[in-house]
Structure 1
Amino acid sequence: MTRRGAALELAVLGLLHDAPMHGYELRKQLIVLLGWGRVLSYGTLYPCLKALGKDGFIVADPPSPKGAKSAKTPGSEAVRGRRNRIVYRLTAEGKERFAQALEESGPATWDDESFGVRFAFFARTASPTRVRILEGRRSRLEERLEHVKNSTQRGRERADSYTLELQRHGLESVEREVRWLSELIDRERSGGYQTSHDEQATGKNRSQKKKGASE
């Protein structure tokens, strides 16, 4: 699976973890979450949904027959009152897969395609995992920053004013993100953000589950 494909899978699982959605609403939410700077096509979304269904992580509820009353499925308020559409929801296996994904903190979670999605679900991620991802992302950007600085210095004499301005803009953008990441890391080590009651309960349940599994 490509890195973009993995990011899309995580985003779908995370959004459906909150509530069932039909494809149209899910696509709108994904465009906001992923922020890829382009429209997410159905040609990209539906193969992902099909693969997740094949793996048993989601199920697709068929539309209700015409004239039938909409079933009051928990979390499905957003789709009632619209024309009949297939509604996707997470299975128990899908919830487990999402929980496992939130514990991952390797290099794949630091890259440009995945980091934004992982950060969007930080409220549900354990603090040590958040710190590892933030530190990995900062290290990745610091390496990139050093490389760009060296390349810019070597090519400065041959570059025109507009190229130099573009390079300066790129350097400043990376430097800002490095500072931001450093602030987040310091905040995490100092206790992090205050979480809501629901987020605290989610983290507590996850910790209890892991403790029970180790006993």
Structure 2
Amino acid sequence: MLELSILGFLAEEPLHGYELKERIKALTGHVRPVSDGALYPAITRLVTAGKLDQHREDGAGAAPRRVLSLTDEGRADLLERLRHPRQPEITDHVRFNTVLAFLRHLPDRREQAAVLRRRLDFLETPTSFFYAEGKPVRAEETGDLFRQGMLRVARATGEAERTWLREAIEQLTQAS
């Protein structure tokens, strides 16, 4: 997801490393903080793979900054990652939000709708944080106040997300 975030933000405009880190942190930092030890090796991998270009620019202070931009190969990789997110990128809420943050870069509305349909299909599968005899436990079935709270909040959030997904898919398919 870190590489997707890097490619996605650089698809919008060239950035130097610190600006890129701040944008990634704003997107997922409270849940999955990004460290320099993860960010800069990921940038190096993407530069080495020809997906990012870098050049030095004079900084606001004394030190020059490394400015990163997306190459054509990087844009192609971004689009492929958005067209075909891996299953954890569909099932994990934070990872899906990262996909969602950049899905507008995918030019084909049908492909955008297909990604949203995958998320909707996942959300429509009955599930729970807790199971009894192999079956999902519903909020009303637990005697634990705190688990009940978790389940009720998850249900409300899931209902809101499913409603939005259906509306967005309809909008995308009507416009195609």
Indicate the TM-score class for this superposition, using the shorter chain for normalisation. 0.7 to 0.9
How far apart are residue 51 of structure 1 and its match? 0.7
Please tell me whether the aligned partners of residues 128 and 137 of structure 2 are also in contact (alpha carbons under 8 angstroms).
no
- After superposition, the Cα gap between the structure-2 partners of 1:144 and 1:9, relative to the gap in structure 1 and judged at 3 Å, is farther
Task: Give the 5 Å matches for 1:132-151.
Answer: 132-143=114-125, 145-146=127-128, 148=130, 150=135
Cα distance in structure 2, aligned partners of 1:148 and 1:135? 25
Deviations 1:81-102 (A, max 9, x none): 3542111111121112112222
Structure 1 position 105, deviation (Å)? 4.6
* 1:81 partner letter: A
How much is the aligned-residue C-alpha RMSD, in angstroms? Answer: 2.9
Match in the other structure for 1:182: 162
Q: Identify unmatched segments of 5+ residues in structure 2.
A: none
1:186 positional shift? 2.6
Give the counterpart of 2:60 among 81, 85, 90: 81
The amino acid of 2:113's aligned partner reads V
The 2-side partners of 1:35 and 1:172 are apart by: 26
Match of 1:127 among 109, 119, 128: 109
Q: Distance in 2 between matches of 1:35 and 1:169?
A: 25
What SS does structure 1 have at the residue aligned with 2:43? helix
Per the alignment, residue 165 of structure 1 pairs with: 145
Aligned to 2:97: 116
Identity %: 23
Which residue pairs with 2:40 in the alignment?
46
Q: What code does the residue aligned with 2:19 have?
A: E
TM-score scaled by length of structure 1: 0.65
Instruction: Say how many residue pairs are matched.
Output: 166
Match of 2:82 among 97, 102, 111: 102
Q: CA deviation at 1:33?
A: 1.7
Q: For 1:102 and 1:48, locate their aligned partners in 2 and report how far apart those are by CA, in whole Å.
A: 18
Q: Which has the larger radius of gyration?
A: 1
Q: 1:38 to 1:118 in 2, by over 3 A?
A: closer
Unaligned runs of 5+ in 1: 1-6, 65-79, 196-202, 204-215
* Cα offsets for 1:38-59 (capped at 9, x unmatched): 5311001011101101111012
Which of 4, 7, 10 pairs up with 1:13?
A: 7
Residue type at the aligned position of 2:102: F
Give, in whole Å, the separation in 2 of the partners of 1:119 and 1:31. 16
For the 8 Å contact 2:89–2:95, the answer to whether it is kept is yes
Question: What is the TM-score normalised by the length of structure 2?
Answer: 0.77
- Alignment of 1:33 onto 2:23: no
Q: Where has structure 1 moved over 6 Å in runs of 4 or more?
A: none
**Quick check: 2:123–2:162 contact (8 Å CA) kept in 1?**
no
